Amino acid sequence: DQQVKQNSPSLSVQEGRISILNCDYTNSMFDYFLWYKKYPAEGPTFLISISSIKDKNEDGRFTVFLNKSAKHLSLHIVPSQPGDSAVYFCAASISGTYKYIFGTGTRLKVLA
């Protein structure tokens, strides 16, 4: 049972444009969400997180939006840069616990 889903395995975007990566979850108990970026042969790197008390969190070029009623979150990267090309994982957890449930990832390719 995949509780966190990233339905787009890949995405290509032109440099300078916006990248939008999507993530859906099924467990309404999740209240903390994170995005990680992963380059080949490296470990995931934390990007940005959001608590369910918010609907938006911004950090530089990265913004995460949370729609609790739709059980959906998205990561916006503006402007996209070639160095952003990587696999992006969303993860969810329940406060007071410690397990992150990861999606299967979306491979972003930013074209120069």
Residue type for position 32: Y
Q: How far is the CB of 96 from other proteins (least distance, A)?
A: 7
Residue 1 near other proteins by CB under 8 A: no
Q: How far is the CB of 65 from other proteins (least distance, A)?
A: 18
Residue 40 near other proteins by CB under 8 A: no
Q: Which of 10, 46, 56, 67 contacts other proteins by CB under 8 A?
A: 46
Contacts of 33 (CB under 8 A, 6+ apart): 23, 25, 49, 50, 51, 52, 64, 66, 73, 90, 91, 92, 93
Structure tokens at 6: 């990233």
DSSP state of 60: T
Q: Which is nearer to other proteins, 62 or 100 (CB)?
A: 100
Site for other proteins in 77-96 (CB under 8 A): 89, 91, 93, 95-96
Residue 102 near other proteins by CB under 8 A: yes
Residue 98 near other proteins by CB under 8 A: yes
Which stretches does DSSP call E strand in 1-112?
Answer: 4-5, 10-14, 19-25, 32-38, 45-51, 56-59, 62-67, 72-77, 86-93, 101-102, 106-111
What residue ranges bind other proteins (CB under 8 A)?
Answer: 4, 6, 32, 34, 36, 41-46, 49, 51, 89, 91, 93, 95-105
